[in-house]
Amino acid sequence: MQSVPFFNYSALFVSQQEHLLQTFQDVSRRGAFITQKDLSDFEQHLAEFSGARYAIGVGNATDAMEMLLAAAGISSGDEVIFCSHTMVATASAIHVNGATPVPVEAGPDHLIDPVSIEQAITHRTKAIMPTQLNGRTCDMAIVQEIADKHNLLIFEDSAQALGSRFQGRHAGTFGVGGCISFYPAKILGCLGDGGAVLCNDRDIYDKIMLMRDHGRNPLTGDIDLWGRNSRLDNLQAAFLDLQFKEYDKIISRRRYIATIYQEQLDPLGQLLLPPAPDSSPDHFDVFQNYEIEAERRDELKVYLADQGVGTLIPWSGKAVHQFNKLGFSQLLPYTDELFKKLLMIPMNMSLSDADVHYVAGCISDFYKK
Protein backbone atom coordinates (compact mmCIF):
# COMPACT_ATOMS: atom_id res chain seq x y z
CA MET A 1 0.00 0.00 0.00
CA GLN A 2 1.31 3.43 -0.94
CA SER A 3 1.08 6.49 1.25
CA VAL A 4 -0.15 9.59 -0.58
CA PRO A 5 -0.83 12.46 1.85
CA PHE A 6 -3.22 15.18 0.76
CA PHE A 7 -0.34 17.67 1.05
CA ASN A 8 3.24 16.93 2.05
CA TYR A 9 4.34 20.07 3.89
CA SER A 10 7.86 18.88 4.60
CA ALA A 11 8.40 18.21 0.88
CA LEU A 12 7.85 21.90 0.22
CA PHE A 13 11.16 22.51 1.98
CA VAL A 14 13.07 19.32 1.27
CA SER A 15 12.55 19.49 -2.50
CA GLN A 16 14.28 22.91 -2.58
CA GLN A 17 16.39 22.66 0.55
CA GLU A 18 19.72 23.74 -0.90
CA HIS A 19 18.36 26.80 -2.69
CA LEU A 20 16.14 27.83 0.22
CA LEU A 21 19.04 27.65 2.65
CA GLN A 22 21.18 29.71 0.29
CA THR A 23 18.41 32.30 0.11
CA PHE A 24 18.06 32.32 3.89
CA GLN A 25 21.77 32.87 4.34
CA ASP A 26 21.90 35.61 1.73
CA VAL A 27 19.00 37.57 3.21
CA SER A 28 20.16 37.05 6.78
CA ARG A 29 23.75 38.12 6.12
CA ARG A 30 22.43 41.33 4.59
CA GLY A 31 20.12 41.88 7.56
CA ALA A 32 17.34 42.41 5.01
CA PHE A 33 14.32 41.37 7.04
CA ILE A 34 11.63 44.05 6.55
CA THR A 35 10.55 45.73 3.25
CA GLN A 36 13.87 45.42 1.46
CA LYS A 37 14.80 44.90 -2.18
CA ASP A 38 13.73 41.23 -2.11
CA LEU A 39 10.16 42.33 -1.48
CA SER A 40 10.13 45.06 -4.11
CA ASP A 41 11.68 42.67 -6.66
CA PHE A 42 9.05 40.04 -5.97
CA GLU A 43 6.26 42.61 -6.20
CA GLN A 44 7.58 43.75 -9.57
CA HIS A 45 7.81 40.19 -10.88
CA LEU A 46 4.30 39.39 -9.60
CA ALA A 47 2.84 42.46 -11.30
CA GLU A 48 4.61 41.68 -14.57
CA PHE A 49 3.43 38.06 -14.52
CA SER A 50 -0.21 38.86 -13.77
CA GLY A 51 -0.53 41.90 -15.98
CA ALA A 52 -1.57 44.03 -13.02
CA ARG A 53 -0.19 47.53 -12.79
CA TYR A 54 0.63 47.06 -9.10
CA ALA A 55 1.32 44.17 -6.73
CA ILE A 56 1.58 44.81 -2.99
CA GLY A 57 2.99 42.16 -0.65
CA VAL A 58 1.08 41.89 2.63
CA GLY A 59 0.90 39.58 5.62
CA ASN A 60 -1.75 37.21 4.26
CA ALA A 61 -4.61 37.06 1.79
CA THR A 62 -7.23 37.90 4.43
CA ASP A 63 -5.48 41.19 5.16
CA ALA A 64 -5.23 41.73 1.41
CA MET A 65 -9.02 41.41 1.00
CA GLU A 66 -9.79 43.56 4.02
CA MET A 67 -7.48 46.38 2.93
CA LEU A 68 -8.62 46.25 -0.70
CA LEU A 69 -12.26 46.67 0.33
CA ALA A 70 -11.39 49.44 2.77
CA ALA A 71 -9.29 51.32 0.21
CA ALA A 72 -12.25 51.27 -2.20
CA GLY A 73 -14.62 52.68 0.43
CA ILE A 74 -16.67 49.61 1.37
CA SER A 75 -18.21 50.41 4.74
CA SER A 76 -21.27 50.33 6.98
CA GLY A 77 -24.57 50.11 5.13
CA ASP A 78 -23.10 48.42 2.06
CA GLU A 79 -23.85 44.89 0.93
CA VAL A 80 -21.29 42.76 -0.91
CA ILE A 81 -22.39 39.61 -2.76
CA PHE A 82 -20.12 36.57 -2.62
CA CYS A 83 -20.34 32.84 -3.36
CA SER A 84 -21.02 30.72 -0.28
CA HIS A 85 -18.57 28.07 -1.54
CA THR A 86 -15.47 29.83 -0.24
CA MET A 87 -13.36 30.19 2.87
CA VAL A 88 -15.04 32.20 5.61
CA ALA A 89 -12.28 34.81 5.19
CA THR A 90 -14.07 36.08 2.08
CA ALA A 91 -17.11 36.96 4.16
CA SER A 92 -15.14 38.16 7.17
CA ALA A 93 -13.23 40.66 5.03
CA ILE A 94 -16.58 42.22 4.14
CA HIS A 95 -17.83 42.06 7.73
CA VAL A 96 -14.80 43.71 9.36
CA ASN A 97 -15.26 46.69 7.05
CA GLY A 98 -18.75 47.19 8.49
CA ALA A 99 -20.55 45.94 5.38
CA THR A 100 -22.97 43.02 5.10
CA PRO A 101 -21.73 39.84 3.37
CA VAL A 102 -24.50 38.34 1.20
CA PRO A 103 -23.89 34.68 0.25
CA VAL A 104 -25.29 33.30 -3.00
CA GLU A 105 -25.31 29.94 -4.76
CA ALA A 106 -22.43 28.16 -6.39
CA GLY A 107 -23.03 26.96 -9.92
CA PRO A 108 -22.19 23.62 -11.59
CA ASP A 109 -18.57 24.79 -11.98
CA HIS A 110 -18.43 25.38 -8.17
CA LEU A 111 -17.97 29.11 -8.77
CA ILE A 112 -20.42 31.96 -8.21
CA ASP A 113 -23.79 31.52 -9.94
CA PRO A 114 -24.66 34.58 -12.06
CA VAL A 115 -28.43 34.07 -11.70
CA SER A 116 -28.08 34.12 -7.92
CA ILE A 117 -26.08 37.35 -8.13
CA GLU A 118 -28.95 39.12 -9.89
CA GLN A 119 -31.51 37.77 -7.43
CA ALA A 120 -29.52 39.04 -4.43
CA ILE A 121 -29.06 42.64 -5.58
CA THR A 122 -30.79 45.30 -3.45
CA HIS A 123 -30.56 49.08 -3.18
CA ARG A 124 -27.74 48.56 -0.64
CA THR A 125 -25.60 46.34 -2.86
CA LYS A 126 -22.24 47.97 -3.50
CA ALA A 127 -20.11 45.20 -4.95
CA ILE A 128 -19.75 41.62 -6.19
CA MET A 129 -16.86 39.53 -4.88
CA PRO A 130 -16.45 36.25 -6.80
CA THR A 131 -14.03 33.66 -5.48
CA GLN A 132 -11.76 32.30 -8.19
CA LEU A 133 -11.75 28.86 -6.62
CA ASN A 134 -9.43 25.87 -7.04
CA GLY A 135 -7.32 27.64 -9.65
CA ARG A 136 -10.21 28.51 -12.00
CA THR A 137 -11.49 31.99 -12.89
CA CYS A 138 -15.25 32.30 -13.24
CA ASP A 139 -17.01 33.77 -16.28
CA MET A 140 -16.00 37.36 -15.59
CA ALA A 141 -17.74 38.60 -18.73
CA ILE A 142 -21.12 37.78 -17.17
CA VAL A 143 -20.07 39.16 -13.78
CA GLN A 144 -18.89 42.38 -15.43
CA GLU A 145 -22.14 42.66 -17.37
CA ILE A 146 -24.16 42.39 -14.15
CA ALA A 147 -21.88 44.88 -12.39
CA ASP A 148 -22.19 47.40 -15.22
CA LYS A 149 -25.96 46.98 -15.34
CA HIS A 150 -26.34 47.76 -11.63
CA ASN A 151 -23.36 50.12 -11.21
CA LEU A 152 -21.51 47.77 -8.86
CA LEU A 153 -17.84 47.38 -8.02
CA ILE A 154 -16.02 44.07 -8.54
CA PHE A 155 -13.45 42.64 -6.14
CA GLU A 156 -11.86 39.21 -6.58
CA ASP A 157 -10.99 36.68 -3.95
CA SER A 158 -8.34 35.22 -6.23
CA ALA A 159 -6.34 33.72 -3.35
CA GLN A 160 -6.27 30.31 -5.07
CA ALA A 161 -5.89 31.44 -8.66
CA LEU A 162 -2.47 32.93 -9.37
CA GLY A 163 -1.88 32.26 -13.07
CA SER A 164 -5.48 31.32 -13.85
CA ARG A 165 -6.97 33.23 -16.77
CA PHE A 166 -10.36 33.99 -18.29
CA GLN A 167 -10.30 35.09 -21.92
CA GLY A 168 -6.58 35.71 -21.57
CA ARG A 169 -6.85 37.97 -18.53
CA HIS A 170 -5.38 36.93 -15.19
CA ALA A 171 -7.39 36.31 -12.05
CA GLY A 172 -7.08 39.24 -9.69
CA THR A 173 -6.91 41.88 -12.42
CA PHE A 174 -10.63 42.38 -13.05
CA GLY A 175 -12.53 45.22 -11.41
CA VAL A 176 -10.98 47.11 -8.50
CA GLY A 177 -8.49 44.33 -7.82
CA GLY A 178 -7.88 40.99 -6.20
CA CYS A 179 -5.93 39.15 -3.56
CA ILE A 180 -3.41 36.30 -3.75
CA SER A 181 -2.51 33.84 -0.99
CA PHE A 182 0.96 32.41 -0.46
CA TYR A 183 -0.07 29.98 2.28
CA PRO A 184 2.29 26.97 2.09
CA ALA A 185 -0.27 24.71 0.40
CA LYS A 186 -0.94 27.22 -2.38
CA ILE A 187 0.55 26.79 -5.86
CA LEU A 188 3.12 29.45 -4.99
CA GLY A 189 3.59 28.90 -1.27
CA CYS A 190 5.98 30.47 1.20
CA LEU A 191 7.21 28.92 4.46
CA GLY A 192 4.57 30.67 6.54
CA ASP A 193 1.80 33.18 5.91
CA GLY A 194 1.88 35.64 3.06
CA GLY A 195 -0.38 37.42 0.60
CA ALA A 196 -0.63 40.14 -2.01
CA VAL A 197 -3.01 42.67 -3.50
CA LEU A 198 -3.21 43.11 -7.27
CA CYS A 199 -4.69 46.35 -8.58
CA ASN A 200 -4.49 48.84 -11.44
CA ASP A 201 -5.59 52.05 -9.72
CA ARG A 202 -2.87 54.34 -8.33
CA ASP A 203 -5.09 55.69 -5.57
CA ILE A 204 -5.95 52.18 -4.35
CA TYR A 205 -2.26 51.27 -4.49
CA ASP A 206 -1.19 54.33 -2.50
CA LYS A 207 -3.79 53.69 0.20
CA ILE A 208 -2.88 50.03 0.66
CA MET A 209 0.84 50.85 0.78
CA LEU A 210 0.01 53.15 3.71
CA MET A 211 -2.42 50.71 5.33
CA ARG A 212 0.08 47.84 5.43
CA ASP A 213 2.46 49.98 7.51
CA HIS A 214 0.16 51.53 10.13
CA GLY A 215 -1.00 54.29 7.76
CA ARG A 216 2.45 55.83 7.96
CA ASN A 217 3.58 58.19 5.20
CA PRO A 218 7.14 57.13 4.25
CA LEU A 219 8.07 60.67 3.19
CA THR A 220 6.80 62.65 6.18
CA GLY A 221 6.50 60.03 8.90
CA ASP A 222 2.97 61.27 9.56
CA ILE A 223 0.06 58.86 10.04
CA ASP A 224 -2.24 59.66 7.13
CA LEU A 225 -4.95 57.06 7.81
CA TRP A 226 -5.84 54.11 10.02
CA GLY A 227 -3.72 51.12 9.10
CA ARG A 228 -2.19 47.92 10.45
CA ASN A 229 1.05 45.97 10.47
CA SER A 230 0.74 43.73 7.41
CA ARG A 231 3.93 43.75 5.40
CA LEU A 232 4.99 40.63 3.52
CA ASP A 233 8.08 39.44 5.36
CA ASN A 234 11.16 40.16 3.24
CA LEU A 235 12.58 36.66 3.79
CA GLN A 236 9.31 35.08 2.64
CA ALA A 237 9.34 37.36 -0.41
CA ALA A 238 12.81 36.05 -1.26
CA PHE A 239 11.59 32.45 -0.89
CA LEU A 240 8.62 33.20 -3.14
CA ASP A 241 10.72 34.92 -5.79
CA LEU A 242 13.00 31.88 -5.86
CA GLN A 243 10.08 29.57 -6.61
CA PHE A 244 8.48 32.05 -8.99
CA LYS A 245 11.28 31.45 -11.46
CA GLU A 246 9.83 27.96 -12.04
CA TYR A 247 6.18 28.96 -11.87
CA ASP A 248 5.30 28.11 -15.46
CA LYS A 249 6.73 24.62 -14.96
CA ILE A 250 4.74 24.25 -11.72
CA ILE A 251 1.50 25.14 -13.50
CA SER A 252 2.29 22.77 -16.37
CA ARG A 253 2.88 19.93 -13.95
CA ARG A 254 -0.40 20.51 -12.13
CA ARG A 255 -2.28 20.60 -15.40
CA TYR A 256 -0.62 17.33 -16.40
CA ILE A 257 -1.73 15.71 -13.12
CA ALA A 258 -5.26 16.94 -13.85
CA THR A 259 -5.04 15.30 -17.28
CA ILE A 260 -4.16 11.95 -15.70
CA TYR A 261 -7.09 12.22 -13.30
CA GLN A 262 -9.38 13.13 -16.17
CA GLU A 263 -8.32 10.12 -18.23
CA GLN A 264 -8.53 7.67 -15.34
CA LEU A 265 -11.66 8.90 -13.56
CA ASP A 266 -13.89 10.31 -16.30
CA PRO A 267 -15.37 6.87 -17.16
CA LEU A 268 -16.78 6.59 -13.62
CA GLY A 269 -20.42 7.61 -13.61
CA GLN A 270 -20.40 8.19 -9.87
CA LEU A 271 -18.08 11.20 -10.13
CA LEU A 272 -18.30 14.70 -11.53
CA LEU A 273 -14.84 16.04 -12.32
CA PRO A 274 -13.66 19.62 -12.77
CA PRO A 275 -13.31 20.77 -16.37
CA ALA A 276 -10.34 19.18 -18.08
CA PRO A 277 -7.36 21.34 -19.07
CA ASP A 278 -8.05 23.13 -22.38
CA SER A 279 -11.70 22.03 -22.39
CA SER A 280 -12.74 25.66 -22.93
CA PRO A 281 -10.93 28.31 -24.98
CA ASP A 282 -12.03 30.94 -22.43
CA HIS A 283 -10.50 29.25 -19.38
CA PHE A 284 -6.91 28.51 -18.43
CA ASP A 285 -7.02 26.61 -15.12
CA VAL A 286 -4.02 26.11 -12.84
CA PHE A 287 -5.54 23.46 -10.54
CA GLN A 288 -4.79 24.75 -7.07
CA ASN A 289 -7.03 21.89 -5.95
CA TYR A 290 -8.70 18.97 -7.66
CA GLU A 291 -12.24 19.12 -6.33
CA ILE A 292 -14.70 16.40 -7.38
CA GLU A 293 -18.32 15.59 -6.67
CA ALA A 294 -18.59 12.00 -5.49
CA GLU A 295 -21.50 9.72 -4.77
CA ARG A 296 -21.14 8.06 -1.34
CA ARG A 297 -18.55 10.71 -0.59
CA ASP A 298 -18.07 9.89 3.08
CA GLU A 299 -17.62 6.17 2.39
CA LEU A 300 -15.12 6.97 -0.36
CA LYS A 301 -13.13 9.21 1.98
CA VAL A 302 -12.87 6.42 4.59
CA TYR A 303 -11.90 3.86 1.94
CA LEU A 304 -9.16 6.10 0.55
CA ALA A 305 -7.79 6.73 4.04
CA ASP A 306 -7.58 2.96 4.53
CA GLN A 307 -5.55 2.80 1.30
CA GLY A 308 -3.16 5.50 2.51
CA VAL A 309 -4.65 8.31 0.41
CA GLY A 310 -5.29 11.66 2.06
CA THR A 311 -8.34 13.70 1.04
CA LEU A 312 -10.04 16.85 2.24
CA ILE A 313 -13.66 17.94 2.46
CA PRO A 314 -13.71 21.69 1.68
CA TRP A 315 -14.16 24.10 4.56
CA SER A 316 -14.78 21.27 7.08
CA GLY A 317 -17.91 20.33 5.16
CA LYS A 318 -19.81 23.61 5.40
CA ALA A 319 -20.43 26.47 3.01
CA VAL A 320 -20.25 29.91 4.62
CA HIS A 321 -24.04 30.36 4.82
CA GLN A 322 -24.25 27.12 6.82
CA PHE A 323 -22.31 28.59 9.76
CA ASN A 324 -25.46 29.48 11.69
CA LYS A 325 -23.68 31.38 14.46
CA LEU A 326 -22.63 34.01 11.92
CA GLY A 327 -26.27 35.01 11.47
CA PHE A 328 -26.90 34.05 7.85
CA SER A 329 -30.50 33.31 6.87
CA GLN A 330 -30.15 32.71 3.12
CA LEU A 331 -31.54 29.48 1.68
CA LEU A 332 -29.15 28.05 -0.90
CA PRO A 333 -30.44 24.57 -1.79
CA TYR A 334 -28.04 23.88 -4.69
CA THR A 335 -25.01 24.65 -2.54
CA ASP A 336 -26.45 22.60 0.33
CA GLU A 337 -26.66 19.56 -1.93
CA LEU A 338 -23.26 20.25 -3.46
CA PHE A 339 -21.61 20.13 -0.04
CA LYS A 340 -22.82 16.58 0.49
CA LYS A 341 -20.66 15.47 -2.44
CA LEU A 342 -17.54 17.65 -2.52
CA LEU A 343 -14.16 16.01 -1.99
CA MET A 344 -10.65 17.16 -2.82
CA ILE A 345 -8.08 14.54 -3.80
CA PRO A 346 -4.28 15.04 -3.82
CA MET A 347 -3.01 17.75 -6.18
CA ASN A 348 0.47 19.07 -5.47
CA MET A 349 4.05 19.07 -6.68
CA SER A 350 5.22 16.24 -4.43
CA LEU A 351 3.07 13.72 -6.35
CA SER A 352 4.76 11.31 -8.74
CA ASP A 353 2.92 9.94 -11.76
CA ALA A 354 2.72 6.64 -9.88
CA ASP A 355 1.05 8.42 -6.93
CA VAL A 356 -1.56 9.96 -9.21
CA HIS A 357 -2.33 6.64 -10.88
CA TYR A 358 -2.54 4.98 -7.46
CA VAL A 359 -5.07 7.54 -6.20
CA ALA A 360 -7.17 7.16 -9.34
CA GLY A 361 -6.93 3.39 -9.13
CA CYS A 362 -8.12 3.36 -5.53
CA ILE A 363 -11.12 5.50 -6.43
CA SER A 364 -11.97 3.21 -9.34
CA ASP A 365 -11.64 0.14 -7.12
CA PHE A 366 -14.02 1.64 -4.57
CA TYR A 367 -16.81 2.10 -7.08
CA LYS A 368 -16.19 -1.24 -8.76
CA LYS A 369 -16.63 -2.94 -5.40
pLDDT digits (tens, 9 = 90+) for 203-232: 999 999 999 999 999 999 999 999 999 999
Q: What is the pLDDT of residue 316?
A: 93
User: pTM score, two decimals?
Assistant: 0.96
Which band of pLDDT confidence, cut at 50, 70 and 90, is reported for residue 28? very high
pLDDT at 23 exceeding the cut of 90: yes
Which band of pLDDT confidence, cut at 50, 70 and 90, is reported for residue 303? very high
pLDDT at 168 exceeding the cut of 90: yes
- Which superfamily does CATH assign the domain made up of 247-368 to? Aspartate Aminotransferase, domain 1 (3.90.1150.10)
pLDDT at 306 exceeding the cut of 90: yes
Beta-carbon neighbour count of residue 324 at 10 Å? 9
pLDDT at 51 exceeding the cut of 90: yes
Q: What is the pLDDT of residue 155?
A: 98
| Three-state secondary-structure class, residue 55 | strand
The domain ranges of the chain are: 10-244, 247-368
Beta-carbon neighbour count of residue 40 at 10 Å? 13
Q: What is the pLDDT of residue 343?
A: 98
Average pLDDT, the chain: 97
Q: What is the dihedral of CA 213, 80, 182, 171, to 10 degrees?
A: -120
- pLDDT, tens only, 309-318: 999 999 999 9
Which band of pLDDT confidence, cut at 50, 70 and 90, is reported for residue 197? very high
Find residue 312's DSSP bridge partners: 344
pLDDT at 1 exceeding the cut of 90: no
Calculate mean pLDDT across residues 222-250: 96
Which band of pLDDT confidence, cut at 50, 70 and 90, is reported for residue 145? very high
Domains 10-244 and 247-368 belong to one CATH topology: no
Q: What is the pLDDT of residue 356?
A: 98
> DSSP string spanning 289-354?
-EEEEETTHHHHHHHHHHTTB--B-GGGG--GGG-GGGT-----HHHHHHTTTEEEE--STT--HH
Tell me the CATH number of domain 10-244, given options 3.40.640.10, 3.40.50.1360, 3.40.50.300, 3.40.50.1370.
3.40.640.10
Strand ranges for the chain from DSSP E: 54-58, 79-83, 100-104, 125-129, 153-157, 165-166, 169-170, 177-181, 195-199, 271-272, 283-284, 290-294, 342-345
Q: What is the pLDDT of residue 296?
A: 98
- pLDDT, tens only, 102-116: 999 999 999 999 999
Q: Using a pLDDT cut of 70, give the percent of the chain over it.
A: 100
Q: What is the pLDDT of residue 267?
A: 96
End-to-end CA distance of the chain: 18
